[in-house]
Amino acid sequence: MIRKLFLVVTAVIIAATNGRSFAAGTADAVTSRTNVVYGTADGQDLLMDVLFPPTDMSTSTPAPRAAIIFVHGGGWAGGDKKDFNRIATELVGRGFVGFNVNYRLVKPNANKWPAQIDDCQLAVRWIRAHAVQYNIDPDSLGAMGGSAGGHLVSLLGTTDTRTTESVEFPDWSSRVNCVVDLFGPSDLTEDFPTTGIIGNVQQIVENLFGKPMAEVKEIAREASPITHVANAVPFLIFQGDKDTIVLPPQSTRFHAALQKAGKDSKLVMMKDVGHNINTMKMDEFYAECVAFYRKNLKAAGGGR
C-alpha cells in the first residue's frame, strides 16, 4: 500500500514539473553531464546531473554564473532527478547552471530521516567546493523543489549543515542563497490528510521518520522549515488553492512566519490548482522564477 502511495505522489509531481516550454530556441543549446557522483552513503553513489547554459561566444573567459539546485519530490521515497528536467532546462536556458540532485529515498528499513537532508546539504557543499570547475559563483546558489523536494529546499534555505563532524567539505555552507518552494510541506508536526487523491498522506510523513508522529514530535519539529524562519533566505512560494495533498495552510502559515520574522517572502496562490503547477500559465511561472533568481543571486544581476 505504501509503495502505491509513493508511485501516485511521484506521478503527480512529474506532471507538475513537466510544463510547457516558453524559452523557445534555448532548450536545444543546453548541454548536460549526467550521473556526476557528489558523494557516497551506505555503499551507494549519490548522483546529480549538471546542466550548462548556451555558451557565451562573446568572450573566452565568461564570468562565473549563478546556479540553481533542483530537488525532486515523491514523498521522500520516490521520484528521480530527471523529474525536473523540463523546468531545469528552461531556467538553464536563461543563463543559469543547473544541478538536478538525487538523494537517498526512504525504504521500509533504511534511509530514514535525516538521510534526505544530509544528502541535499552535502550536494550544496559539493557544488560550492567545485564552483571553479563549473564556472559558478559559490555565493549565487538558488534552489527549487516540489512537494517533498519543496520541503528539502526550504530546509536548505533556513538551516545550515546539521553537524560538521565527519562530513565532506565542512568549510562550505549548506545554506543556499534563495529558494523557490513548490507546494512543499513546511510543518511536519501538523496532521496531514488520511484520505484523498493518494490516500493516507499522514502515513507517508510518518514513514519518513519510521515511527508514529506521537513518538517523533520533536524530531519532526526540527525537520520543519517553519521552525527555522529566523535564519531564512529570500523565498518564493507557489501553492495551489485546491491542493489536497499538501494543504494550502502549510504554505500560507510558512509565508506568514517568514514575514513576521522580517524575511523576504512572496506567496503565489494558484487559483483552482491542485498539487501541481498551473501548466496553462508556465510562461508566467518561468518569468516569476527568473525575476526572483536574478534579484537574489548576485552573479545573475542581483545585489545580494
**pLDDT tens across 61-83, in order?**
789 999 999 999 999 999 999 99
Q: What does the pLDDT read at residue 8?
A: 45
Check residues 185 and 3 and name the one with the higher pLDDT.
Answer: 185
pTM of the model: 0.92
Lowest mean pLDDT among 6-10, 29-33, 86-90, 154-158: 6-10
Q: Are 95 and 62 in contact (CB under 8 A)?
A: no
Asked if the model's pLDDT at residue 1 lies above 60, the reply is no
At residue 287 the predicted structure's pLDDT band, cuts being 50, 70 and 90, is very high
Residues β-bridged to residue 52 = 31
Place of cell 530556441: 25
At residue 195 the predicted structure's pLDDT band, cuts being 50, 70 and 90, is low
Rounded mean pLDDT of 186-201? 81
Q: What does the pLDDT read at residue 57?
A: 54
Q: Are 66 and 137 in contact (CB under 8 A)?
A: yes
Distances (CA, A) of 288 to 91, 160, 283: 11, 26, 9
Lowest mean pLDDT among 85-94, 141-150, 194-203, 223-232: 194-203
Asked if the model's pLDDT at residue 302 lies above 70, the reply is no
Domain boundaries, the chain: 2-297
Q: What does the pLDDT read at residue 22?
A: 41
Cell of 157: 534555505
Place of cell 508566467: 284
- State what percent of residues in the chain have pLDDT above 90: 79
Return the CATH architecture of domain 2-297. Answer: 3-Layer(aba) Sandwich (3.40)
Burial level of 57, CB count in 10 A (0-12/13-18/19+)?
exposed
What is the C-alpha to C-alpha distance for residues 155 and 101, in angstroms, rounded to an integer? 15
Asked if the model's pLDDT at residue 277 lies above 80, the reply is yes
What is the C-alpha to C-alpha distance for residues 30 and 93, in angstroms, rounded to an integer? 6
Rounded mean pLDDT of 12-35? 64
